[in-house]
Amino acid sequence: MDVICQYCNAMKFKGESAGMCCSNGTVRIPNIDEPPEPMKTLLESSTSISEHFLENINKYNNAFHMTSFGAAETIVENYMPTFKIRGQVYHLVGSLMPLPNTNHKYLQVYFMDDEEEQIDARMGICSGLNKGNCIV
């Protein structure tokens, strides 16, 4: 992303259409605040911890989901990391508490009494996560 919009300062890919971000200045987009620490350091530094975080950012996102995305039909084509949806979009929420003999997942993790158990549950959702990055 080495092209910057002259109207809203959005960072854009080379060849991206000019009006894609703010319609050539006709739409006012509010500035995004700096992320709080430790998120800022994880996103911007070049330490081994931040490199691990950035390489696994999708896994960390999954570990903190409150719901699961669902669609009537998804279509993944070509090499692009996007997909098309046909039909209804919905969230799979599930019950507030897990069924007997099942692990906590999604929103259920937030209702666990012990913070250490919450961290362990999040780490169980995706392998290869750093325990220190799974704290709310």
pLDDT digits (tens, 9 = 90+) for 10-41: 888 888 887 788 898 899 878 889 999 888 99
What one-character DSSP code corresponds to residue 37?
T
The pair of structure tokens assigned to 14 is 């080379």
pLDDT value at residue 82: 66
Q: Is the pLDDT of residue 42 over 80?
A: yes
pTM attached to this predicted model: 0.58
pLDDT band for position 66 (cuts 50, 70, 90): confident
pLDDT value at residue 79: 62
Q: Which of 5-19, 51-65, 82-96 shows the lowest per-residue confidence on average (mean pLDDT)?
A: 82-96
More reliable by pLDDT, 70 or 82 = 70
What is the spatial distance between Cα 106 and Cα 23, in angstroms, rounded to a whole number? Answer: 37
Specify the long-range contacts of residues 120-123, CB closer than 8 Å, at least 24 apart.
122/63, 122/64, 123/63
What is the spatial distance between Cα 85 and Cα 72, in angstroms, rounded to a whole number? Answer: 8
For residue 4, the cross-strand partners are 11
